[in-house]
Amino acid sequence: MAKPPQSVEALTEQYGPHLKYVPPGGWQGESLKGPEKLVKTHCCFCGQQCGIQLKVRDNQVTGFEPWEEFPFNRGMLCPKGVRRYMQSAHPDRLLAPLIRTDSGFREAGWEEAMSLTARRLQEIQAKYGKDSVAVYGGASLITEKSYLLGKFARVALGTRHIDYNGRLCMVSAGTAYKLALGVDRNPNPWEDIPKAQVVLVAGANVGECFPITTDYLWRMRDNGGRLIVADPRMTPITRNADLYLPVRPGTDTALFSAMLHVIVRDGLADLEFIENHTNGFDQVAEYVKAWDPRRAADVTGVRPEDIEKAAQWFGMAERAMALHARGIEHHSHGVENCLALVNLCLATGNIGREGAGPNMITGQGNGQGGREHGQKCDQLPGQRHIADPAAREHVAKVWGITPEEIPQAGYSAVEIMEAIHRGEIKALFSMCFNPLVSLPDSEYTRAALEKLEFFCVVDFFLSETAHHADVVLAGSLQEEEEGVVGSGEGRVIKINKAVDPPGQARGDSAIVVDLARRLGKGQYFPFESTREIFDELREASRGGHADYYGITYERIEKEMGIFWPCPTLDHPGTPRFFEGGKFLHPDGRARFLVAEVRPSGDPVADDFPTFLTTGRVVSQYLSGAQTRRIGALVDQYPNPKVEVHPKLAERHGILNDDWVTVTTRRSSITVQAMVVRTIRPDTVFIPYHWPGRKSANRLTHRTLDPRSKIPEFKVSACRIEKAAGPQGGQ
Ligand SMILES: Nc1nc2c(c(=O)[nH]1)N[C@H]1C(S)=C(S)[C@@H](COP(=O)(O)OP(=O)(O)OC[C@H]3O[C@@H](n4cnc5c(=O)[nH]c(N)nc54)[C@H](O)[C@@H]3O)O[C@H]1N2
Ligand SMILES: Nc1nc2c(c(=O)[nH]1)N[C@H]1C(S)=C(S)[C@@H](COP(=O)(O)OP(=O)(O)OC[C@H]3O[C@@H](n4cnc5c(=O)[nH]c(N)nc54)[C@H](O)[C@@H]3O)O[C@H]1N2
Ligand code: SF4
Ligand SMILES: [Mo]
């Protein structure tokens, strides 16, 4: 179907200044008359998954109450959590399916939209083969939906290609942990943090992105522990840090290698632990010999004496933890960065004990659960590998098909875009992903979306990506279907249904099941509820690393969540991994792997001399599709700004609030300056929550980590110059 061109201007116009809405019943639902009830559930935003009680009246979420008993956050919430209820009854909510016409979208009935979708997918597969259709999932979806999508792609469509937005998120850490420790999960429950004597926070803006974790860090410090922060920016927690390492973007492997160098040199390594529980130490020790703190200081910009101090604190502590997030993971060597940090913990015996271990801080709401049960391109449920014959056999049996019928591994998220450009993939079914804003090099993404012969999006808002769809199916908010999510800790918790989808909107899982039936595969999709999907997932995960068999909805509610693996109904769950030095590789040992220091994919040069790094601010969430619609959050940070150090600003004659054009090898955007002393003078930072002309991802590049396939969002080469005013008027 011909698509009317979507200009950057049109999208900026539509999604630029955000409105201050008042929903039909008023924000507090003042005019609603029905009885009020409270529903215990979790925040729909980040991976902390705070417990919250939603206030419900007349099938509308009208507010919230804290849920003091939920152990993780004990009633605390951040600015996003306290506003999430404002999505319910939002005027932008999609209430019926939309079909593209030559003059824009028109509303359609479900019968028409679904039969069109099924027909187009079938026609395209008949013409170009099964693998010409790809599926995108998302880690904001409850685990049942992510399991269902994996099965839908492989059984209903029979395509190899399914991947999800978590590919832009925790995959470098997941890949590294799997390689080194044998499993993709955090070793420690969060209650371990206050027990650590030293915590190294590397590339995580805990204050703005994981606000509730700051409470755990402060308790650690109240107990006498020390906080070390490695970040090119002095993020809010740095004010209370004992040591700050202002690392140059893209150089963490050198920093951690030098720390290990000092630890080995000074005899701080735990040789007994290394001998009894690990392999490969000698090669790593040999590699880091060349990385003395002076050499690392040249590369990282961190003073050698600070590297020495960090290493000594970490090496001498009885209990040390490393917490890391996307700052060290969003790199073309993100896996190396994480391996280098894991090596530090293994070398000092800091793992498998209270208050000791490396831990990735999971980002997305269901970042953990969403990466365990098959919506990744190379994965089957239970965190099994799709190429493993035993895994294929087990899952095929649960699905009622033969192992040969399960397709092999397909492309990852960015690779799917590349395959669309090559003409290999012709149709895309996308649920819970806004790639036009979130993928690097957004002009490339836009061109790919325009090339598709058929594109179907399931969302509750008309995201920027959905503007390019042929069919938009009105799906559900988190509070509109019951299910489970896995929090960053590895705790499986229960999302309770608070309201029905409004208008003609439907539950996401009902949409997928309906589509599978229309594709002639109804016998494999007999589900009438998410509970039935969960029960099948339990069987499918049985015996895998992420074994959910012993977890039931009832147990979760009674026990305030259960940590996987939980293989039997009377198993207590597994909050802490690797106790007693038992790792999940077949020989039970952890692996030291050499983490080579490698350059970034978009090197600085004379014409692009400054590092650009991108990330988040506290009041916005991801692509902003949700938070840019919540007036009270928009007010806190209405437009992206570029953080510039006073020295760099002075060199370019830039004052606070001046307009600045930031240019990379791809494109340029013009935003206002925020002149701050809290960033390295060779680096600028732009948050990425906006589309169109305000999109940081117009600037970023598509270099991927070869193993995790994560894009390098954290380092681009750029130049900045003062601009006369906003580009084309903003
Ligand atoms: N408010 C808010 N909270 C969120 C989200 C959100 O969108 N908004 N998203 C959630 C999700 S999905 C995620 S993944 C997490 C992300 O959470 P974080 O990873 O904490 O957030 P980012 O802002 O992406 O980047 C973290 C830090 O990395 C630093 N950094 C940049 N380059 C480097 C580098 O080369 N080395 C080091 N050591 N640090 C570097 C940045 O300065 C930044 O302070 O947040 C979750 N929580
Ligand atoms: N430059 C730069 N780019 C980045 C990053 C960065 O640091 N810098 N960070 C990356 C990271 S860590 C992440 S996680 C990605 C996130 O990137 P995205 O996943 O694209 O971001 P979201 O905003 O979560 O988009 C999800 C879409 O799904 C919809 N949605 C949410 N929940 C549901 C649901 O339950 N059902 C349905 N049907 N739809 C739903 C939302 O309305 C939204 O339109 O961005 C990445 N992009
Ligand atoms: S910290 Fe995360 S889960 Fe908790 S309220 Fe904020 S956004 Fe929601
Ligand atoms: Mo993320």
Question: What does the alpha-carbon distance between residue 544 and residue 406 come to, in Å, rounded to a whole number?
Answer: 17
pLDDT of 669:
97
Q: Report whether 693 contacts 157 (CB < 8 A).
A: no
- Whose CA is closest to 79, among 181, 171, 211? 211
- Across the chain, mean pLDDT equals 95
The average pLDDT across 422-428 equals 98
pLDDT category, 665, cuts 50, 70, 90?
Answer: very high
- Please choose from 622, 690, 713 the residue to mutate so as to test ligand 2's pocket, defined by most ligand atoms within 8 A of CB: 622
pLDDT category, 728, cuts 50, 70, 90?
Answer: low
Q: Is the CB of 48 under 6 A from ligand 3?
A: yes
Ligand 1: list residues with CB < 6 Å: 46, 169, 202-205, 208-209, 230-233, 235, 247, 249-250, 252, 325-328, 363-364, 613, 615-616, 618, 620-622, 685, 714
pLDDT of 727:
77
Residue nearest to atom 30 of ligand 2 (CA): 432
Question: pLDDT digits over 514-539, tens only?
Answer: 999 999 999 999 999 999 999 999 99
Percentage of residues of the chain with pLDDT beyond 90: 92
Residue nearest to atom 2 of ligand 3 (CA): 46
- Whose CA is closest to 41, among 81, 91, 89? 81
Question: pLDDT digits over 365-407, tens only?
Answer: 999 999 999 999 999 999 999 999 999 999 999 999 999 999 9
Contacts of 531 (CB under 8 A, 6+ apart): 482, 553
Q: Report whether 646 contacts 675 (CB < 8 A).
A: yes
pLDDT of 616:
98
Domains and CATH numbers, the chain: 8-87 (3.30.200.210), 98-169+368-482+504-528 (3.40.50.740), 171-360 (3.40.228.10), 610-723 (2.40.40.20)
Question: What does the alpha-carbon distance between residue 553 and residue 11 come to, in Å, rounded to a whole number?
Answer: 42
Is pLDDT at 6 greater than 90 in this prediction? no
Ligand 3 centroid to Cα of residue 433, in Å, is 19
Is pLDDT at 39 greater than 60 in this prediction? yes
- The closest-lying atom of ligand 2 relative to the alpha carbon of residue 508 is 38
Any idea of the CA torsion for 31, 35, 40, 42, to the nearest 10 degrees? -20
523-531: long-range pairs with CB below 8 Å, 24+: 523/400, 524/151, 524/155, 524/156, 524/399, 524/400, 524/401, 525/151, 525/152, 525/155, 525/156, 527/148, 530/142, 530/144, 530/145, 530/481, 530/482, 530/483, 531/482
pLDDT category, 355, cuts 50, 70, 90?
Answer: very high
Question: What does the alpha-carbon distance between residue 468 and residue 134 come to, in Å, rounded to a whole number?
Answer: 16
Question: pLDDT digits over 171-230, tens only?
Answer: 999 999 999 999 999 999 999 999 999 999 999 999 999 999 999 999 999 999 999 999
Contacts of 239 (CB under 8 A, 6+ apart): none
Question: How many residues does the structure list for the chain?
Answer: 730
Question: pLDDT digits over 452-500, tens only?
Answer: 999 999 999 999 999 999 999 999 999 999 999 999 999 999 999 999 9
- The closest-lying atom of ligand 3 relative to the alpha carbon of residue 211 is 1
- The closest-lying atom of ligand 3 relative to the alpha carbon of residue 42 is 3
Contacts of 310 (CB under 8 A, 6+ apart): 200, 228, 230, 243, 245, 259
Q: At what angle do helices 530-541 and 389-399 cross, to 10 degrees?
A: 150
Matching residue, tokens 């090197």: 603
Residue nearest to atom 33 of ligand 2 (CA): 432
Question: pLDDT digits over 593-648, tens only?
Answer: 999 999 999 999 999 999 999 999 999 999 999 999 988 888 889 999 999 999 99
pLDDT of 33:
81
- Whose CA is closest to 628, among 439, 461, 447, 496? 461
pLDDT of 24:
54
- Whose CA is closest to 457, among 97, 72, 699, 213? 97
Least confident of 13-17, 102-106, 284-288, 715-719: 13-17
pLDDT category, 27, cuts 50, 70, 90?
Answer: low
- Structural Rg of the chain based on CA atoms: 25
Residue nearest to atom 34 of ligand 1 (CA): 249
